[in-house]
Amino acid sequence: MDDNKKEMRKLKIQVQMSMDGCIAGPNNEMDWLVWNWDEKLKEYVNKLHLPVDTILLGRKMTSDFISYWFDVINKPDDPEYSIAKKMVETPKIVFTKTLNKSEWPNTEIATGDLKEEITNLKSQEGGDIIVYGGASFDSSLIKENLIDEYYLFINPVAIGNGKTIFGDLKEIRKLSLVESMTFDPGIVLLHYEVKRN
C-alpha cells in the first residue's frame, strides 16, 4: 500500500460524564460516578480496548490512574481485574511540561508540541490510541481537533458545577452518531465520530 494513503491510527476518548457535561467536580470529585456496572457495560468497555495499544494521559491524573490499576491487578478476584490487566500492560504516554523522565513503568514522556506529537503518533504503525485525560488535557486535544471518536458514558446524575472538556472550543464541532446504548445502572453510551472534510 502507498504510504501516503495508509490509514491513520484512530485517537479515541472514553469519559464518564454527568448529564450536565462534567467529567469531575470543581475539586476533581468523582464521588458522583455510578460504579455498579452490569456485565453488559463491563463487556462493552473491554471490547472497546481490544484494538488499543497506546494510552495517553495528562500529567495531573497519571499518578492516580496508574496506582489505581496497579492496585487492582494485585487482586485477581476483583471484578475489574481483566480491564486492569489491559491498563497496566498497555504502553502509556504522559504529556507533560514539568517532567523529563517517566516515574512509572511501561510509560513514556512526551514534552513537545501537542499537535505535532499526536499527529506523529497517529501516523505510526499500530493499533488504536485512547486518551483518559484529565480534563485540561482532554480539552486541549478536543480544541486541536485531534480526537477521532468520542465514547461518552453519561451517568444519571447532574452535579451543577464541575470540570468540562468542551469549554475551549472556538467553533462548532460536528459529530456523527455511530451508536447509542443503555445499561442497567442507568448509564447511556453515546459513541460519535468526528466529521472530517
Work out the average pLDDT over 190-194. 97
What confidence score (pLDDT) does residue 195 get? 83
Beta carbons within 10 angstroms of residue 145's beta carbon? 13
Q: What are the sequence ranges of the domains in the chain?
A: 11-24+51-194
What confidence score (pLDDT) does residue 100 get? 85
Q: Give the length of the chain.
A: 197
pLDDT tier for residue 1 given thresholds of 50, 70 and 90:
very low
Per-residue pLDDT tens over the stretch 5-40? 567 899 999 999 999 999 999 998 999 999 899 999
Q: Are 54 and 129 in contact (CB under 8 A)?
A: yes
pTM above 0.85, yes or no: yes
Percentage of the chain surpassing pLDDT 90? Answer: 66
11-24+51-194: which CATH architecture? 3-Layer(aba) Sandwich (3.40)
What confidence score (pLDDT) does residue 197 get? 66
Q: Are 136 and 60 in contact (CB under 8 A)?
A: yes
Q: What is the mean pLDDT of the chain?
A: 91
Work out the average pLDDT over 93-98. 91
Q: Indicate if the pLDDT at residue 155 is higher than 60.
A: yes
Work out the average pLDDT over 150-162. 97
What is Dmax (Cα atoms) for the chain? 51
Q: How much helix, strand and coil, in percent to the nearest 5, is found in the chain?
A: 30, 25, 45
